[in-house]
Structure 1
Amino acid sequence: MSVRQSLLAILSEGSQYGYQLRHEFEVRTGRTWPINIGQVYTTLNRLVRDGLVEEAERGEDGSVNYRLTYSGREEVERWWGTPVDRQAPNRDEVAIKVALAATAPGVDAFAVIHRQKAETLRVLQGYTKEKRSLPDPVQGDALARQLVLDHLIFVAEAEARWLDLVEQRLRAR
């Protein structure tokens, strides 16, 4: 997940200070990925250093509002227009753990797979239950949460199917 790009995208809508950016990020991602305020300010400092963001003004309380520079606006437009690179996938702990269990001597790979599948299905049920509890019609913050839940549900379903496939392949060898 690119915190850098996300903060730039939010700033493209107008100047904000760090706590506002954190709040907007969390609300607009369905509160799925909480972000540490220290990470927000570290990222903002790097964006200022890189010439993508500048200080807009200081509030009476000492807070600093940030805004995009011209280069920052160009960077946001580039991000919106470029698909996410899936050729260098993120490391997935489940895939790594299962692959190692399947190839490690003395490890009961089937037990590892079964425990993981039980956990994946438990999480999937939680996501599904939460999705059913969203208001109808889904709007605003709930829409962001619904979109993220849909993604998480699809990922969990795919993981459960993949674990079934791994088990089949191990049994066939």
Structure 2
Amino acid sequence: MSIRHGLLALLEGGPRYGYQLRTEFESRTGSTWPLNVGQVYTTLGRLERDGLVAPAGEDGAGHALYAITDPGRAELHAWLGRPVESANPPRDEPAIKLAMAVCSPGADPAALIRSQRERTSAALREWTRLRDRAGTDGRDRRDRPNGPNGPEETARLLVLERLILAAEAELRWLELCADRLADGRAAVPSASDGGREG
């Protein structure tokens, strides 16, 4: 996630100060990507340096406000219009770790799969809980006269659904890995053969 573009998107709604941007960013992303307020101000400084935001005075409490500029708006809309490149997927630590474990004498890939499955299952339960609670304020969403609570709730739900589906896919992949190891299709080298398969 591009934090700079996320901040530009928030500033398109009007001037804001750093802590406000941090809070709104976390709210819109379902509190799944926490931001350090120092990171927000560092990013704002870079955006200002690049001419994408500008100081916009202070609010009534003396907070320094920032506003998006026309070049910032153009940058934001160019970013929003570009699909995320799928041909170069981000590094996937569980996949890299398991690939290394399978080829490492003394490693226990099955234990790695079990511990990753537990961690991913816990994350899946938490994201599902957050999704199910999002914006319900104690009432079923169908009972609301105006339906879901608008764009912020929708944004949170979209992010949480993405995380849930990714966790479900990872659990399926881990099951496939466990089956492959159990079938002997991936023989783990022993220390006696110097890490080479015979």
- The answer to whether TM tops 0.5 is yes
Q: Distance in 2 between matches of 1:85 and 1:2?
A: 13
| Corresponding residue for residue 190 of structure 2 | none
Q: Distance in 1 between matches of 2:185 and 2:96?
A: 21
1:139 aligns with 2:149: yes
Shift of 1:142: 4.0
1:153 aligns with 2:164: yes
Shift of 1:144: 3.3
What stretches of structure 1 move > 4 A for 4+ residues in a row?
Answer: none
1:2 aligns with 2:26: no
Percent pairwise identity:
50
Q: Could you tell me which of 173, 185, 190 is aligned with 1:162?
A: 173
SS of equivalent to 2:57? strand
1:172 aligns with 2:182: no
Higher helix share: 1
Would the alpha carbon gap of residues 133 and 59 (structure 1) be closer, same or farther in structure 2, given more than 3 Å must change?
closer
Shift of 1:61: 4.5
Give the aligned length: 173
Q: Distance in 1 between matches of 2:59 and 2:133?
A: 39
1:83 aligns with 2:83: yes
Shift of 1:60: 5.4
Aligned residue type for 2:55: E
1:73 aligns with 2:73: yes
CA contact (8 A) 1:32 1:145 kept: no
Q: Distance in 1 between matches of 2:48 and 2:82?
A: 23
Q: Distance in 2 between matches of 1:117 and 1:9?
A: 35
CA contact (8 A) 1:15 1:65 kept: yes
Tell me how large the CA RMSD over aligned residues is.
1.8
What does the per-residue CA deviation read over 1:31-66, in whole Å, with 9 as the maximum and x for residues that have no partner? 221111000000000000011111111345442111
**Gapped runs of 5+ residues in structure 2?**
142-147, 187-198
| Corresponding residue for residue 33 of structure 1 | 33
Q: Distance in 1 between matches of 2:115 and 2:74?
A: 47
SS of equivalent to 1:167? helix
Q: State which drifts further: 162-171 or 135-144.
A: 135-144
SS of equivalent to 2:54? strand
Aligned residue type for 2:174: L
Aligned residue type for 1:168: D
Shift of 1:118: 2.3
| Corresponding residue for residue 195 of structure 2 | none
Q: Distance in 1 between matches of 2:156 and 2:99?
A: 32
**Gapped runs of 5+ residues in structure 1?**
none
What does the per-residue CA deviation read over 1:140-163, in whole Å, with 9 as the maximum and x for residues that have no partner? 454333222211110111001111
